[in-house]
Amino acid sequence: MLPEQPLDIKNCPTHEKRCFTFFTLSGCADRTSIICTEGAILNLIAIKLGFNTLQLGLLNFFYMATTLIQIVMIKTIAQNGKRKVFIYTYSLAALFSGLLLLLPYIANIQVTIAQVYFFVILMIVRCLVFSGFACWMPMIMDNIHPNKIGRFFGHIRMWFHAVGLMFLLAIAWFLGTDPDWWHFQCLFAISIVFYLCRVLAVLPISMKPDRQVDNDIEPLLVRLRRVAKDAPLRRFIAYTFSFHVIVVASFPYQVQLLKSLGYSDGFITASFAMTYSGAILSLKLWGKLADRFGCRAIFTLSHIALAFAMLLWLFVGKNGYSGVLVFAYYFLYSIFMSGNGIANSRYGVHLTMRYCQLDIIIINTISFAAMGLSPLLGAFFLYATDHFYFTVGNTTFNNYHLLFTVSALAFLLPAWKINALDIKDDPTLKALCAFVWQKLKRAPAAS
């Protein structure tokens, strides 16, 4: 293993270019491995195993709740170094992912046992993945200059979204209408290979020395109290928590609604691939805009656009244009979630570099915890409104449509939280729109 060495990221352009390459390769490998057991694929496997609405919500909740292990890993990372922890945890994740290959055989014996087995192995793998992911942002902060962080995230996320799009479209074709278990076994095997590829990609990257003796490590409770008393950090955590709760609340139930309407697994996976296509087209632009205009305008624009996109679900049914609306939703979701993600990461990096880079782990953990809590809240909402429906003409609106409406309106909450962030000096949405409009006006003249 290469030694962890101090380095000067300001005066090392060749090192920075090298890091762009290896971080991109590692990110692409991570995206490929995660797709095999995340999002639409996770919910399709769960539905195939017979999970009901509440069980689906609980599965998605615990799947994301494993992110809390990142906070526990802060001391381990400080003692042993980022790269060492990263390598061990992802290697173990690959090992335990191999146990998912046994899932079809257990399902043939007893479905209930298979459900428990899937849940337990999935939780172990996710705990290991999140333990390794805790090292990811600090490793980036060691090697990428703060003034280029927006462009970096735009570059790397464009590439792993491109890989994700191609891979998801391939999966959609591979799964077809009614996939057998061996199709999912192939996905499990692919995830094992790419977990290991993610590890190999970071080996050539040098890291700043960060091993500390026990006496120098800030105790976890002391760190959490310090973060809670830090007003800018506290406000940002409140914002990112509320935003992710709202944006993910209906996500698993979109898949469930489409299944109930008779859409095939292949169609659902292909439509989910649109969450990558919009990102590919927009991420580089978002990165440049974030470095030039800051975060305020991007946060505001993303809330407005995501609320509008969520309302498209009100018109999804068994009619001819519903398939187009589903693809349009995921495409718009992809574009504006990418923008919010770039601004979110950029603001979080600049905020945590004031004191301790490991504080970014706490922010990421709370964001992922919100994504875990959100589907559970969605499940309870659907159960509480189980008998809700009304008809307008030939169209029936039920509790799923009510969930989508509430989610769209709820984007006003994190939009209100934006004003509490330390970004009042950033240009407004009006300034951003004026800049983009001027660029568009000059484009025909330049051509």
pLDDT in tens, 112-153: 999 999 999 999 998 999 898 888 878 887 777 777 777 777
What element of type H or E holds 227?
A: helix 220-229
Residue in the block written with tokens 């905020």: 351
- Answer yes or no: is pLDDT of 259 > 90: no
Q: Using an 8 Å Cβ cutoff, are 219 and 17 in contact?
A: no
pLDDT > 70 in the chain, percent: 86
What element of type H or E holds 129?
A: helix 111-133
Counted residue by residue, the chain has a size of 447
Question: In which band, very low, low, confident or very high, does the pLDDT at 371 lie, cut at 50, 70 and 90?
Answer: confident
Question: In which band, very low, low, confident or very high, does the pLDDT at 301 lie, cut at 50, 70 and 90?
Answer: confident
- Beta pairing partners, 398: 389
Residue type at 13 in one-letter notation: P
- Beta pairing partners, 395: 392
Question: In which band, very low, low, confident or very high, does the pLDDT at 260 lie, cut at 50, 70 and 90?
Answer: confident
**Model pLDDT, residue 96:** 93
Most confident stretch, 86-100, 176-190, 288-302: 86-100
* CA separation for the pair 246, 225 (Å, rounded): 26
* CA separation for the pair 95, 97 (Å, rounded): 5
Query: Nearest to residue 399, comparing CAs of 62, 64, 53?
Result: 53
Q: Is the dihedral of CA 124, 127, 131, 134 positive or negative?
A: positive
Question: CB under 8 Å to 410, separation ≥6 — which residues?
Answer: 246, 249
Query: Nearest to residue 421, comparing CAs of 271, 311, 300, 275?
Result: 300
Q: What is the dihedral of CA 187, 189, 190, 194, to 10 degrees?
A: 140
Q: Using an 8 Å Cβ cutoff, are 192 and 96 in contact?
A: no
Q: Bigger pLDDT: 44 or 389?
A: 44
Structure tokens that stand for 325 in this block: 């609306």
Question: For 314-359, how does the pLDDT look when each residue is reduced to its tens digit (9 = 90+)?
Answer: 888 777 788 889 899 989 998 998 888 888 888 887 777 666 667 7
Tell me how far the alpha carbon of residue 110 is from its chain's centroid.
Answer: 33
Structure tokens that stand for 193 in this block: 């290979």
- Answer yes or no: is pLDDT of 227 > 50: yes
Structure tokens that stand for 16 in this block: 């920075």
**Model pLDDT, residue 99:** 92
Domains contained in the chain, CATH given: 12-205+216-421 (1.20.1250.20)
Region class of 337: left (phi > 0), else alpha (psi between -120 and 50), else beta: alpha
Q: Bigger pLDDT: 191 or 361?
A: 191
- In the predicted model, what is the mean pLDDT of residues 255-269? 82
Question: In which band, very low, low, confident or very high, does the pLDDT at 90 lie, cut at 50, 70 and 90?
Answer: very high
**Model pLDDT, residue 212:** 45
- Answer yes or no: is pLDDT of 242 > 70: yes
DSSP 51: -
Query: Nearest to residue 63, comparing CAs of 133, 102, 106, 121?
Result: 121
Longest C-alpha distance within the chain, in Å? Answer: 70
**Model pLDDT, residue 128:** 93
**Model pLDDT, residue 354:** 60
Question: For 28-82, how does the pLDDT look when each residue is reduced to its tens digit (9 = 90+)?
Answer: 888 888 888 777 788 888 888 888 877 887 887 787 778 788 888 888 888 888 8
